[in-house]
Amino acid sequence: MNADERALVIEPLGETVLLLRFGDDIHNALNVRVHAAAALLRAVELPGIVDLVPAYATLALHYAPEIWIGHHNTPWRHLADAVRAVFATPPADAAPPTPALVEIPVCYGGDDGPDLAEVAHHCALRTDEVIAHHAAATYTVAMLGFAPGFPYLLGLDTRLHTPRRATPRTRVTAGSVAIGGAQTGIYPAELPGGWHLIGRTPLTLFDATLDPPCLLAAGDRVRFHAIDRADFDALARPHAR
């Protein structure tokens, strides 16, 4: 067993969720391990697994406990043993899938990005430099959370790290692209929020009538590209996804 496997902590969350904890930090390398583990467990299809929910440094396994009643172990311990066995000897044909790369058009600044100038001032950059740095990176969807379809994106250029707003807004327009600390994200609906708004996308991040309902999935790669207002209006009609 390597050092990474020894560091893995497996613990129950109630009677139907098993939590795999790979660490306590927020950084790309750790999140990559989470998504690799999720891909492996999806590939081997352990019985009774209802859902896999990746986060920054953890992976939650929702499962049917009656499937994992063992002779000597409680269901969660029985499942934990099976998970460790999979990680110790993964199947040779269980290579992780290539993550999707999703392009997100963004109209930066103006009414769509009312905090762009404030971010530029904080970072000692021009607004066009903020846009260029933001659009130059390739991001990873670390997890979905806060609201259905909200992606927490890792990979923000360190030159753009900006603390959250001292006073959150009670309403943030759907599609707003924002920076909060060392991350960037996209508001999938009109929501309250305390991140700095630098632009907006015409794409729909969440639609409960679609399958899948979320435009982005945990583990996807994301790139932004700048568009003007005319392009935004064209993409927004009648429904962009």
Domain map (residue ranges) of the chain: 3-88, 101-236
pLDDT in tens, 1-32: 344 555 899 999 999 999 999 998 888 889 99
Cα dihedral 118, 155, 28, 54 in deg (nearest 10) = 80
6 to 10, 23, 25, 87, 92: CA distances (angstroms): 11, 11, 17, 11, 22
pLDDT at residue 197, as a whole number = 98
Q: What is the DSSP letter of 238?
A: S
pLDDT at residue 95, as a whole number = 66
Same CATH fold assignment for domains 3-88 and 101-236: no
pLDDT in tens, 130-152: 999 999 999 999 999 999 999 99
Checking if the pLDDT of 98 tops 90, the result is no
How many CB atoms are located within 10 Å of the residue 226 CB?
16
**What CATH number belongs to 101-236?**
2.40.100.10
**Average pLDDT for residues 72-79, to the nearest whole number?**
88
pLDDT in tens, 164-218: 999 999 999 999 999 999 999 999 999 999 999 999 999 999 999 999 999 999 9
pLDDT at residue 184, as a whole number = 98
pLDDT at residue 94, as a whole number = 66
Pick from 194, 210, 202, 198: nearest CA to 235: 202
Q: Where are the alpha helices (DSSP H) in the chain?
A: 3-7, 28-44, 75-88, 116-123, 127-136, 229-236
pLDDT at residue 239, as a whole number = 58
**Average pLDDT for residues 117-135, to the nearest whole number?**
98
3-state secondary structure of 107: strand
pLDDT at residue 1, as a whole number = 35
Pick among 3.40.980.10, 3.40.50.2300, 3.30.1360.40, 3.80.10.10: CATH of 3-88: 3.30.1360.40
Cα–Cα distance measured from residue 143 to residue 52, given in angstroms and rounded to the nearest whole number: 12
pLDDT at residue 237, as a whole number = 74
Global pTM reads 0.85
